[in-house]
Amino acid sequence: MRLTELAGAIGVDYRGEEREISGLGTLKNAAGDQLSFLDNPKYLKELAHTSAAAVLVSPKYADAVPAGTIALVDEEPYLKLAMASAFFAPPPMKREGAEPVIGEGSEIAPGVSFGKDVVIGEGVTIMPGSYIGDDTVIGDGTLIYPNVTIYRKTVIGRNCIIHAGTVIGSDGYGFAHTKEGRHVKLHQLGNVVVEDDVEIGANCAIDRGALDSTVIKEGAKLDNLVHVAHNCEIGEYSLITGQVGLSGSTKLGRNVVMGGQSGTAGHLEIGPFATIAARGGVTKSVEGSKVYAGFPLMEHKRWLKLNAMLSRLLEKKK
């Protein structure tokens, strides 16, 4: 799609150099024929090094766009990105493509449905009622229990276990908002990558990335009823217990432990070997190799002292 055509379609005034735009990308990973955006000054460093053909940007950051990249200046860059995403969203189902390639020794139960161009490794077991979407790849030895839904372009590694009712690759919760209060969908164009030896419990929801991938790294173990939002990264061998919720673009280092019903705000990092106690609320990035608790979050020892002080204070008032 030509840049001038796309700009006109989303209401951005642009009359400069013509370029062909093949899709959308993040500032960090956009190719030279993709459109990106900047809406958060946190990513100004990535803007300086982007390879994107063009970047949607507000007037106050227009001068920060690097040479060789076109600045599409607008007061609402995220809204215009959402509008642009509709032009690059794939159809819900492929009409043409190859039938699934199923490796030797795999067992596919009756009632399993496949999209187009699916590749299943050797020794894979898929139980009844599951759906494997277009362009999905599943590695050797993986076990998928009944009624699992795997959306398009998901990549699942070797020897994974996915329990019943889990959904992998559903749309992330991404909307831009007009001044009138209307919500415009940012079509989720990324995917989910599940590395080797990952186990995902029952009735989990793993959202696809908005523009890149949501990644669950090797050896991570998720309990039942876990929600992983778009663009999250769960580090190697992390343990995520029941009813944990990770907001978008949360990054967990390796061997992070998150207790039941704990959760994060978005766009933050939890350092490797950190532990978040049950119901802990993480609102900003925290260092690794420590134990945290409470809301607002603090180190666990301090949280224990605080609760002891409150208890003594209440006793004095009796």
- Cite the active site residues: 230
Which residue, among 62, 56, 58, 47, has the nearest Cα to 7 in the 3D structure?
Answer: 56
CB 120 within 8 A of CB 101: yes
Q: Residues near 36 by Cβ (< 8 Å), separated by ≥ 6?
A: 24, 25, 26, 27, 30, 50, 52, 54, 55, 56
CB 218 within 8 A of CB 238: no
Q: Residues near 10 by Cβ (< 8 Å), separated by ≥ 6?
A: 80, 83, 84
CB 246 within 8 A of CB 266: no
Tell me the C-alpha distance between 317 and 64, whole Å: 58
Helix (H, G, I), strand (E, B), or coil: what is residue 120? strand
CB 240 within 8 A of CB 226: yes
CB 4 within 8 A of CB 54: no
